Amino acid sequence: MRAHVREALLRIARERGFALSDSRAWSKITIRDVIKEAGISIGTFYKYFEDRADLASTLWAEPVGRLRDTLQDAYDAATDPVQKVRVLLEGYATFATENARFYKNVFLLVRPEDQPVEPSIDLASESFFANLVEAFEEGQRQGRFRSFDPHSMAQLFWSALHGSLVLPVNLYRHKFDGPEILSGQMIEELLDSIAQRD
């Protein structure tokens, strides 16, 4: 039923010419529109979805889940903390560049001010973040990484990598190097910044 309702939402979006990245347009699709298209009752809708935001999140949950699985497999196969950090960052950057449209639509979406703020999710529950923290801690125990707060550093790494991927897209009128180049350079700089110096 969740897939049936999601497909109804996508049909409406296609008919109206809405892109995933156009949050203002998506906000114009009502639950009433969706249940009419899906041929279900409002009660059935709420049996499977908390609200419209919950329905919208299903549009990106599957690809993001595959990304998580791919990154987890690469992380688990890595043999040392430097390699673990590298595979996480490179995997994230590769996903963003190889799936540019999806990445832009999901990860560059800015919530309009008139939409309610969704509850925050603890960073530690996100496997990408948790694995970065774990790799940093392992690297510090092995003397491979300098002393720093792993939790704070994981936030900085994720923010810096994300910035190197989105800045050339958001500020496209400026002559930045492309996301592939900037993210590759950013990964090297980030790894160098935490290396233990002799």
pLDDT per residue as tens, the chain (198 positions): 888 988 898 888 889 887 655 556 667 888 999 999 999 999 999 998 888 877 877 777 777 788 899 999 999 999 999 999 999 999 999 988 887 766 766 666 555 566 666 677 889 999 999 999 999 999 999 999 999 999 999 999 999 999 898 877 666 677 877 888 999 999 999 999 999 987
Three-state SS for 145? Answer: strand
Provide the token pair at 120: 């925050």
Q: What is the CATH number of domain 60-194?
A: 1.10.357
Determine the pLDDT at residue 77: 97
Q: How far apart are the first and last CA of the chain?
A: 59
Provide the residue ranges of all domains of the chain, joining segments of one domain with +.
1-49, 60-194
The alpha carbon of 194 is separated from its chain's Cα centroid by a whole number of angstroms, namely: 24
